[in-house]
């Protein structure tokens, strides 16, 4: 006979006895550092920020990532905005402006100058003097024209090409500073035959430039018939702001450049005598010629022509 034994039902609750431990979760591997694209580099600070993850707010919630910076709408550094807002390309460095004339301290007006134009006879000194006076006068400037021992024999500036103008005769006792101050306004002086002025008068011309703002343009010979410098010319060389040798070529009878003045007395070149002699003296025929250095030293006059001689060393 079969023994049927009913097995008691298995409890549905947890098994008796010590609790079984669940297996531990596998460790999480650290995040791999970001790999930079080829050709680029990541700074240590950027790598640390990536490993740290997004910032955590108080309470444990993550903060949203910061919004990317808006693209700049400013123009590139190579342009600037005009008042209307349109970009204009920047030009290169501005060209240097022409130097301003030197001004007298505290006056705001350009400084005056003393210029000496020199050369042998026939080089156009008086012609240039007349032209400069014309140029200044037509611009509204007021000036005086001075001369001494002009070839005309009177108070005039005359040129060998026929130009002429009345002038003030400069006597040895004439105070040029007083002459200018006697006028209400004088802007410039044209001083022809300045080589015949006194040294004191040359000093006065320099004073008029420096203390009174008067431009002075002096014209004259540099040396006498002995090839010695006139005292007034020497002082002008020493004091002038600019010294200009006239470039009009004068020729000796031989065709070489004529640079020296020769005094001829009765057909013979003189070596001695007064420094300045005008016209005839003691019944002797006196005139002046231009010679090259070679023929001046040799006292060779060559063939004389009326157009080559002058009664005045000017």
Instruction: Please give the pLDDT value at position 227.
Output: 93
Instruction: Please give the pLDDT value at position 17.
Output: 46
* pTM of the complete model: 0.62
Q: For 267-304, b where at least 16 C-beta lie within 10 A, e where not — what string?
A: eebbeeeeeebbeeeeeeebbbbbbbeebbeeeebeee
Catalytic positions are 193
* Among 153, 174, 155, 179, CA closest to 166: 155
**HEC sequence for the chain:** CCCCCCCCCCCCCCCCCCCCCCCCCCCCCCCCCCCCCCCCCCCHHHHHHHHHCCCECCCCCECCCCCCCCCCCCCCCCEEECCCCCEEECCCCCCCCCCCCCECCCCCCECCCEEEEECCCCCCHHHHHHHHHHHHHCCCCCEEEEECCCCCCCCEEECCCCCEEECEECCCCCCHHHHHHCCCCCCEEEECCHHHCCHHHHHHHHHHHHHHCCEEEEEECCECCCCCECHHHHHHHHHCCEEEECCCCCECCCCCECCEEEEEECCEECCCCCCCCCCCECCECEEEEEECHHHHHHCCCCCCCHHHCECCCC
How far apart are the C-alpha atoms of 100 and 109, rounded to whole Å? Answer: 11
Retrieve residue 289's tokens.
């010629």
How far apart are the C-alpha atoms of 256 and 187, rounded to whole Å? Answer: 40
Residues in a beta bridge with 147: 169
Distance from the Cα of residue 145 to its chain's centroid: 31
Instruction: Please give the pLDDT value at position 70.
Output: 46
Q: Could you report the per-residue pLDDT of 162-188, keeping only the tens digit for each? A: 888 889 999 999 999 999 999 999 999
Instruction: Please give the pLDDT value at position 158.
Output: 80
Instruction: Please give the pLDDT value at position 44.
Output: 52
* Among 114, 144, 102, 111, CA closest to 237: 114
How many C-beta atoms surround the C-beta of residue 116 within 10 A?
28
> Can you give the length of the chain in residues?
314
Domains and CATH numbers, the chain: 114-245 (3.40.50.300), 260-308 (no CATH)
Instruction: Please give the pLDDT value at position 278.
Output: 64
Q: Could you report the per-residue pLDDT of 2-55, keeping only the tens digit for each? A: 455 555 555 444 444 444 445 555 555 555 555 555 544 555 555 555 545 555
Instruction: Please give the pLDDT value at position 88.
Output: 44
Residues in a beta bridge with 223: 229
Low-confidence ranges of the chain (pLDDT < 50): 1-2, 11-21, 39-40, 51, 56-57, 68-93, 96, 98-108, 280-281
């Amino acid at each position: 006979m079969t023994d049927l034994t009913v097995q008691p039902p298995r409890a549905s609750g947890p098994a008796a006895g010590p609790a079984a431990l669940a297996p531990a979760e596998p460790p999480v591997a650290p995040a791999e550092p970001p790999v930079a694209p080829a050709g680029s580099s990541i700074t240590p600070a950027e790598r640390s920020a990536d490993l740290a993850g997004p910032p955590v707010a108080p309470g444990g919630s993550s903060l949203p990532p910061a919004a990317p910076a808006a693209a700049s709408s400013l123009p590139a550094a190579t342009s600037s905005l005009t008042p209307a807002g349109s970009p204009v390309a920047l030009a290169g460095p501005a060209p240097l402006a022409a130097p301003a004339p030197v001004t007298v301290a505290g006056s705001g007006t350009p400084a005056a100058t003393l210029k000496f134009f020199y050369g042998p006879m026939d080089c156009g000194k008086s012609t240039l003097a007349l032209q400069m006076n014309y140029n200044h006068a037509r611009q509204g400037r007021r000036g005086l024209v001075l001369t001494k021992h002009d070839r005309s024999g009177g108070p005039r500036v005359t040129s060998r090409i026929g130009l002429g103008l009345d002038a003030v005769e400069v006597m040895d006792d004439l105070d040029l500073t007083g002459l200018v101050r006697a006028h209400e306004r004088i802007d410039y002086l044209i001083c022809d035959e300045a080589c015949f002025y006194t040294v004191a008068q040359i000093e006065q011309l320099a004073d008029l430039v420096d203390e009174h703002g008067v431009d002075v343009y002096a014209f004259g010979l540099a040396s006498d018939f002995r090839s010695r410098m006139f005292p007034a010319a020497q002082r002008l060389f020493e004091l002038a702001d600019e010294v200009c040798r006239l470039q009009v070529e004068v020729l000796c009878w031989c065709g070489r450049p004529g640079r020296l003045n020769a005094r001829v007395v009765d057909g013979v070149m003189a070596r001695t005598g007064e420094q300045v002699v005008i016209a005839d003296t003691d019944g002797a025929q006196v005139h002046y010629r231009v010679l090259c250095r070679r023929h001046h030293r040799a006292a060779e006059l060559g063939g004389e022509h009326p157009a080559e001689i002058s009664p005045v060393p000017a």
